[in-house]
Structure 1
Amino acid sequence: MPGPKGVPRAAIVALLGEGLSDKRIARILHVSPMRVSRTRRELDLPRFERTVTAVEQSWTDRTRPTDVGHLAWAGFWREGVHPVLKHQGTEYSARRLAFRLANGREPEGHVMAGCGWTPCVRPEHVEDQPMRDALRSQFTAIFGDAA
């Protein structure tokens, strides 16, 4: 069945093949969701079923390893400074999630990249306030107050 000029049925079929919802396809192609639904029925495809991914998987999907051992955040940045994961309508601090993955507990205070590279969210590189306090105490014990 032909559609509006410029939007071939094949484009709808291709996006249906990628597993997208009718509404999503309609937004992408600027067509009626009813047209997409009709095409789905004509192809005898099942209704779209929304799958829920765990927040940890969403976090992993937005990270990129670097060649020098860091894990760069490739997701959203709040105010250009804070890496944030938007997952199912909720925002999570990417560093706090990384901390929880590495340590199995919620962090206390601000979580920062202990390696010094701001975009890094590698779980082994993030530190919460008690960890930074302990490192500062150790540094002072070794080098004294003058350092």
Structure 2
Amino acid sequence: MTADEIAAALDDASGAVEPGPSAARARQPSGRGEPATSWADAFAARTVAVEGGHLHWTGATGHRGTPVVSFRGQVETGYRLAFRWHHGREPEGNVRPRCDYPGCVAGGHLADRKLREGGGS
């Protein structure tokens, strides 16, 4: 899947999550031998679509196996990026997969505290 396909699948045509103002030049490889040009590109380089609509994380993991990605000196969890792109809002509390696929980062398979408590999208 290309970065554009991932961004479209996550309901974010631009694929952009703005890094902080002090962000340095991208150093994270895109998986194609070149630096990532967007958060979506960095994310897409670390995911593989699998059966059942799941998105398998192939990149680095942090504390407790949480998917992490960096772009322009900023670090973000794959869960929070995919959640923002899919739901169009900032997550409240921790974001975790609701499906049974370990480490799935498909936006529609993720829930924050608000969704887990039945508060809608």
Same fold (TM over 0.5): yes
Higher relative contact order (CA 8 A, sep 6+): 2
User: Aligned residue for 1:104?
Assistant: 88
| Gap regions ≥5 residues in structure 1 | 1-49, 136-147
Displacement of 1:116 in angstroms is 2.9
User: Aligned residue for 2:28?
Assistant: none
Q: Secondary structure at the match of 1:95?
A: helix
Give the 5 Å matches for 1:37-76. Answer: 53-76=37-60
Distance, in Å, in 2 between the alignment partners of 1:51 and 1:82 is 23
Runs of 4+ in 1 over 3 A off after TM superposition: none
Query: Which residue identity lines up with residue 62 of structure 2 in the other structure?
Result: R
Distance, in Å, in 2 between the alignment partners of 1:132 and 1:80 is 20
Distance, in Å, in 1 between the alignment partners of 2:35 and 2:104 is 29
| Gap regions ≥5 residues in structure 2 | 1-33
Distance, in Å, in 2 between the alignment partners of 1:88 and 1:67 is 32
Query: Which residue identity lines up with residue 53 of structure 1 in the other structure?
Result: T
Is 2:36–2:71's contact at 8 Å kept on the other side of the alignment? no
| 1:134 to 1:71, Cα distance in 2 relative to 1, 3 A | same
User: Aligned residue for 2:21?
Assistant: none
Displacement of 1:133 in angstroms is 0.2
Q: Secondary structure at the match of 1:130?
A: helix
Distance, in Å, in 1 between the alignment partners of 2:45 and 2:66 is 17
Query: Which residue identity lines up with residue 90 of structure 2 in the other structure?
Result: E
Matched residues, number = 86
Asked if 1:132 is matched to 2:116, the reply is: yes
- Identity of matched residues, %: 34
| 1:52 to 1:116, Cα distance in 2 relative to 1, 3 A | closer
Q: Which has the higher helix share?
A: 1
Displacement of 1:68 in angstroms is 2.8
Displacement of 1:134 in angstroms is 0.3
